[in-house]
Amino acid sequence: MTTSKPIINAIAELAAIKGVEHAVISSGSRNAPIVIAFNAQKKIKCLSVIDERSAGFFALGIAQQTGKPVALICTSGSAVLNYAPAIVEAYYQKVPLLILTADRPMEWIDQDDGQTIRQYNIFSSYVKASFIMPADNSHPDEMWYAEKVVSEAYNCAAKKGDKGPVHINIPLREPLYNEVEKSRVKLKNIEVIDVKSSLSHAAENDLLNEWGTAKNKMIICGLHKSDEELNKVLSKLAEDESVIVITESTSNLFDEKFVSSVDGYFETLTEVEKKELQPEILVTIGGPVTTKKFKSYLRKYKPEQQWHVSTSSSHIDTYQTLTKVIPVEAVDLFSTLVKAKPVKSDYAKKIKDIEAKALAQLDVYIKQAPFSDLKAFQSILNRLPADSDVQLGNSTPIRYANLFDVAKTKAHYYSNRGVSGIDGSVSTAVGAAYASAKMTTLITGDLTFFYDANGLWNKHLPPNLRIIVINNSGGGIFRVIDSKDTPLLEEYFEATHNRRAESLAKMYDLPYYSANNEKDLEKTLDGFYKDHNGKPVILEIFTPNKINAEVLLGYFKFLKK
């Protein structure tokens, strides 16, 4: 059985034809025809998540792992607005979502009818495209238009090298629950032929000439999925002594020749040393970079040239130095640059030596430091299962991760750093773990965890999920940044509290463990990743909020010795 509305059947059937495998649905009435139609598609797994804000991030986590558009389906009114945080994050992470929002017919907008708001173009600033469906199919042109819209929307969301969220608003007239035996619509599927951009011979020669004469060349990769082919060609390129490849935990590109922890130690250098390490050519790939201090360094010590590699031709100018946009796959550009004759230089060695010194000092410093966030992080990273996934909460967790040589953990790292909000970290981790089936560890602060507590209100919680909550009784990041000096710190910035995750674990019947010191933590982590009767597990680590900030800031002072 399926809905009696032909246009809605066309949406669901074309979504299945196009390759949508998951639909995340929040309950309602106006969206009933969409729910019925998608449940009739055997190729699509329909997942019910009641809270739309959590549902949006749950879908983001699935799409992040699969790389395929996930359908998001909700009723009309304020339900639609609850998708906004996840849609914004998906937009800046370039994660594909197909957002299907039920609506009242156009004539009922602003007529004081229930659950009726202005929904068309409601996400226009944060989606790749917005569409609106006809409210019925009284004329053949309306079905033709509906087919075209679904093909265009899916093709736009799934575009290679430029994925992202797309919104289809769907006005629906009553009756909403009528069903028929099967759809009798013959559908037209519009395909987009895959093409590949490449450098012209002239452009290739120009880039090789410029690359081959520079002695200080830096490549920075921001947020990125693991890519074995790209990793391999970057490793080859890094054999050139004039080339340094800088990554972060969420770059997911690792090699002993790369530098994967730059946070902080460039600040310890003298002005002369900083000037010596100024790149002549900076090449940027991937999404946002977390490390604020390093971004500040490059904005001050500007490279002569910056090339941004983007198949979508994005003019991202994070360092205010953009000179070239290169609209090709990064692996293709670097395969070209490998052809250049290596340049005699000590540039890469200088930066690698600085990193090695900082990592050695980090080990020394942690051994003498009291129990704190920093010490807890080292213990956690040392026990991550190989080839597992890590979802890092925003604010302090991702910053702590970037202090360590995470390449040694053999894990893959993800974080909602498109917009960098704390909302949705739990829900994203749940979706990612559900989709990947790999052991997935969410490492989050307490505010981030409690903010998205509804992420646990999900009957699809996977057994391969492990949640580590570092509870320092508030937003610890605010004791590190400039806000630490305001008298309003504890009430309005740090948001000090005495909440514990244990009550939530009991509410959702999840195994719960806690640790208050290094010995307890080490003992608990030893059994943390074992099977717990097919359930995800929560570990809450209690650390002292004031000491945490002192320990972290003390490390940066220690580096200067």
**CATH code of residue 209:** 3.40.50.1220
DSSP 8-state assignment for residue 489: I
SS3 assignment, position 443: strand
- Tell me whether residue 195 is in a domain: no
Q: Within this chain, do residues 51 and 157 fall inside the same structural domain, yes or no?
A: yes
pLDDT at 476 over 60: no
CA 292, CA 488: separation in Å to the nearest integer? 24
- For 102-132, what is each residue's pLDDT tens digit? 999 888 888 888 888 899 999 999 999 999 9
pTM above 0.85, yes or no: yes
Q: Spell out the long-range contacts of 269-274 with Cβ–Cβ below 8 A and sequence spacing 24 or more.
A: 269/354, 274/300, 274/301
- Tell me whether residue 185 is in a domain: no
Q: Which of 292, 315, 349 is the last residue of a domain?
A: 349
pLDDT at 165 over 70: yes
Question: Domain of 500: which CATH number?
Answer: 3.40.50.970
What φ, ψ does residue 246 adopt, rounded to 5°?
-110, 125
Q: What is the mean pLDDT of the chain?
A: 92
Give the model's pLDDT for residue 518: 95
Q: Within this chain, do residues 100 and 242 fall inside the same structural domain, yes or no?
A: no
Q: Within this chain, do residues 442 and 494 fall inside the same structural domain, yes or no?
A: yes
- Tell me whether residue 42 is in a domain: yes
Mean of pLDDT values over 60-89: 97
Q: Within this chain, do residues 345 and 374 fall inside the same structural domain, yes or no?
A: no
The percent of the chain in helix, strand and coil, each rounded to the nearest 5, is: 40, 15, 40
Structure tokens at 16: 């299945």
Q: Which residues contact 139 (CB under 8 A, 6 or more apart)?
A: none
Strands (E) located in 286-379: 305-309, 324-326
The domain in which residue 73 lies consists of: 2-172
What's the domain count of the chain?
3
| pLDDT over 90, % of the chain | 79
**How does 436-462 read in b/e, with b if 16+ C-beta sit within 10 Å?**
bebbbbbbbbbbbbbbbbbbbebeebb
- Tell me whether residue 554 is in a domain: yes
Q: Within this chain, do residues 36 and 153 fall inside the same structural domain, yes or no?
A: yes
Q: Name the pLDDT band for 335 (thresholds 50, 70, 90).
A: very high
pLDDT at 504 over 50: yes
Structure tokens at 428: 């994203």
Q: Within this chain, do residues 412 and 528 fall inside the same structural domain, yes or no?
A: yes
The number of C-alpha atoms within 13 Å of 109 and in the hemisphere containing its C-beta is 12
CA 318, CA 333: separation in Å to the nearest integer? 20
State the DSSP string of 127-188: SSEEEE--S--SSHHHHHHHHHHHHHHHHHHT-TT---EEEEEEE-PSP-S-EESS--PPP-
Give the model's pLDDT for residue 475: 56
Q: Which of 172, 189, 212 is the last residue of a domain?
A: 172
pLDDT at 287 over 50: yes
What φ, ψ does residue 179 adopt, rounded to 5°?
-125, 160
- Tell me whether residue 355 is in a domain: no
Q: Within this chain, do residues 378 and 230 fall inside the same structural domain, yes or no?
A: no
pLDDT at 548 over 90: no
Structure tokens at 351: 């930066």
Give the model's pLDDT for residue 482: 55
- Tell me whether residue 196 is in a domain: no
Q: Within this chain, do residues 165 and 24 fall inside the same structural domain, yes or no?
A: yes
Give the model's pLDDT for residue 183: 74
Which segments of 200-263 does DSSP mark as H helices, in order? 201-213, 228-237
pLDDT at 378 over 90: yes
- Tell me whether residue 293 is in a domain: yes
- Around Cβ 194, how many Cβ atoms within 10 Å? 7
Residue 245, beta-bridge partner list: 219
Q: Which of 349, 377, 393 is the last residue of a domain?
A: 349
- Around Cβ 29, how many Cβ atoms within 10 Å? 15
Structure tokens at 217: 């060349």
Q: Within this chain, do residues 374 and 345 fall inside the same structural domain, yes or no?
A: no
Give the model's pLDDT for residue 185: 66
- Tell me whether residue 404 is in a domain: yes
| pLDDT over 70, % of the chain | 95
Q: Within this chain, do residues 47 and 167 fall inside the same structural domain, yes or no?
A: yes
Q: Within this chain, do residues 402 and 547 fall inside the same structural domain, yes or no?
A: yes
- For 181-228, what is each residue's pLDDT tens digit? 877 667 889 999 988 889 999 999 999 999 999 999 999 999 999 999
Mean of pLDDT values over 142-161: 93
Q: Within this chain, do residues 140 and 74 fall inside the same structural domain, yes or no?
A: yes
- For 422-470, what is each residue's pLDDT tens digit? 899 999 999 999 999 999 999 999 999 999 999 999 999 999 999 999 9
- For 402-419, what is each residue's pLDDT tens digit? 999 999 999 999 999 999
Give the model's pLDDT for residue 31: 96
pLDDT at 479 over 70: no
Asked if residues 281 and 305 have their Cβ atoms less than 8 Å apart, the reply is yes
- For 298-331, what is each residue's pLDDT tens digit? 999 999 999 999 998 889 999 999 999 999 999 9
CA 232, CA 214: separation in Å to the nearest integer? 22
Q: Name the pLDDT band for 492 (thresholds 50, 70, 90).
A: very low
